[in-house]
Structure 1
C-alpha cells in the first residue's frame, strides 16, 4: 500500500484535516497517512513549494502527496496529478509545481477530469482523496485525466543573475519556526556564479561577508568557554536544504527574537549577493 502525505493550509482547529483522513480510511482502511504540515500560511504557494521540495524526497518512491493550498477549482486554477521523481503529486495548477520541478522534469502530467461527476467547494476532500486512493490501488494517471505537456510557472520565485554575473537578486520565500529567513538562492547557484570570488550578502541594511555551513560555526570552540554571549548574533548560512538563510544564533521568538523580526525581513523581501571581482 502506498504512503499518502498531506500538506495544507487548513490548520488544526477545524474539521478539515480529520475529514480528509476519514475519507481516505473509508476507501483504504490500511492506508498509511503522514502529515507533512497543515500550518502553511493561508494561500501561500511559495511556502508550500519550499516545504514540499525539501520533504518529499525523504519518503519512499511511489508515495502520493496531496497538496491542499489554494485548491479551489476555477478556469485559472485547474487540478492536476503528476508523476515527478517517482513520486505522485495531486494539487492545484497554481504554480507551486514550478518550484518543486525546477530541476527535475515530470514524467507525466494529467488534468484531472472527474469534476463532471463531482461538484465541490472542498476539492481536497471530494476530488484529491478520490484520485489519491485510485492511484494507491494501482490506477494509472491516464485514467484520471488527459495528458498535458506543461503546468503554470511562477517566475518570481526564481532568483535572478544579472548580465555580468556580479550579482544574484533573490527574495525571502519562507520564515521558519525560529524566525530564520530562508531565501530562494541555492548553494549551487552561489557556487556557479561566484566562482570563488569574495562577496557581500545584503539584506536590508545588514551585510555579511561570510556564509557558514552550520549555526555554531560562529563560535571558536578552542578558545571560548562561556558561549552564551553568542546567543542573538546574526549569521548567514546555507541550510540543510541548500538555500541561503539569514539566522539568529539560538533564536527564541519569546526572548531574543528571530531574524525576521530583528532584521525586519519578511516574505518576498529582497536579499542580494554582490560578487567582488
Structure 2
C-alpha cells in the first residue's frame, strides 16, 4: 500500500485538493494520502522548505511526497523527481528542496520529461500525480525523466556569518500559526560560531540576551501564577532546532503574536552579535 503526502498552497476552499486526491485514487485505489498542509502562503518557497524539512522524516521510508507550490512549468522552473534519504519527492525545481538537500545528498534526481505527452495548466494533477503513482508501483525514476546532478539552491535559506564583526546575519524564514517568528539560524550554527560567548539577538528594535529551552521556562519559580507572563517576549530554539522569537502563550485574537507585536515579517533581518567569552544563558538540549 502506497503512502503519498501532499504539501501545497492550494488552500481548502477550491476544488484543487479534492481533484488531486481523486486522481491518485483513480491511479492507485489502495493509496493512502496524508495532507501535510495546503495552507502554505501563496508561492512561498522558503515556507514550503521549512515545513517539508520538519515533516518528511516522520513518515516511513519509501513515502512519496508531492509538493505543489509555484509549480507552473517553465524554462527556469523544471519539474523534478528525487530520491533522498529513502524518500521520494515530486516537485518543481524552484529551490524548495534546498533545506533538506543541504544536509543530505540526493541519491538520484531526474528532470521529468513526460510533458510532451501531457498538456496541462495544472501540473500537480496531471503530471505529479502520474509520476508519484508510477514510483508507488515500483517504477524507476529514469523511465520518467532524464537524470540530472544538481538542483536549484535557495540562497536566502542560508544565514550569513560576518567573522570580522562576530555576527550571524539571519532572517525570518517562517511565521507559524501562533504568530511566532522562526529564523533561519540553527542551534548548530549558533554553537559553532558562538563558541560559548555572550550574545545579543537583535530583532527590529528589540533585543534578547537569553535563549530558553522551553516556553514555560520563562515563568521560573512562578509556574503556579504563570498567567502574569502571558504576552512576554522570549527567544528559544524550537523543536526543529531553529532560533525562534516567540510570545509566551500568544493568542492572535487577544495578546497577539511575535510578528504583530514586534512588527516583524517574513525576510526581516535577525542579527546575533557575540561579544564576550562568557557562556550564553541557555542550556543546550542534547
TM-score for the superposition, normalised by structure 2: 0.95
TM superposition shift of 1:2: 2.5
**Distance of 1:219 and 1:186 partners within structure 2:** 25
1:95 paired with 2:95, answer: yes
Give the stretch that moved more between structures: 125-134 or 148-157.
Answer: 148-157
TM superposition shift of 1:224: 5.2
Q: Is the 8 A contact 2:2 2:30 kept in 1?
A: no
Provide the secondary structure at the position in 2 that maps to 1:252. Answer: coil
- Are the structure 2 counterparts of residues 141 and 276 from structure 1 closer, same or farther at C-alpha, using a change threshold of 3 Å? same
**Distance of 2:101 and 2:252 partners within structure 1:** 33
TM superposition shift of 1:264: 0.4
TM superposition shift of 1:135: 0.3
* Aligned counterpart, 1:244: 243
1:13 paired with 2:13, answer: yes
Provide the secondary structure at the position in 1 that maps to 2:99. Answer: helix
Residue deviations 1:62-102 (CA, integer Å, cap 9, x gap) = 10000000000001100000011111000000111112211
Map residues 63-142 of structure 1 onto 2, 5 A cutoff. Answer: 63-142=63-142
Q: Is the 8 A contact 2:179 2:260 kept in 1?
A: yes
* Aligned counterpart, 1:218: 218
Provide the secondary structure at the position in 1 that maps to 2:39. Answer: coil
Count how many residue pairs are aligned between Structure 1 and Structure 2. 276
Q: Is the 8 A contact 1:212 1:236 kept in 2?
A: yes
Q: Is the 8 A contact 1:165 1:193 kept in 2?
A: no
- Are the structure 2 counterparts of residues 165 and 150 from structure 1 closer, same or farther at C-alpha, using a change threshold of 3 Å? farther
1:193 paired with 2:165, answer: no
Gaps of 5+ in 2: 277-286
TM-score for the superposition, normalised by structure 1: 0.98
* Aligned counterpart, 1:233: 232
- Are the structure 2 counterparts of residues 261 and 108 from structure 1 closer, same or farther at C-alpha, using a change threshold of 3 Å? same
**Distance of 2:98 and 2:241 partners within structure 1:** 18
1:266 paired with 2:265, answer: yes
TM superposition shift of 1:165: 6.8
Gaps of 5+ in 1: none
* Aligned counterpart, 2:283: none
* Aligned counterpart, 1:207: 207
Residue deviations 1:189-228 (CA, integer Å, cap 9, x gap) = 000010110000110010000111110011123x554221
**Distance of 1:182 and 1:165 partners within structure 2:** 24
TM superposition shift of 1:163: 2.8
* Aligned counterpart, 1:45: 45
Give the stretch that moved more between structures: 138-147 or 12-21.
Answer: 138-147
1:152 paired with 2:171, answer: no
Give the stretch that moved more between structures: 104-113 or 153-162.
Answer: 153-162
* Aligned counterpart, 1:164: 164
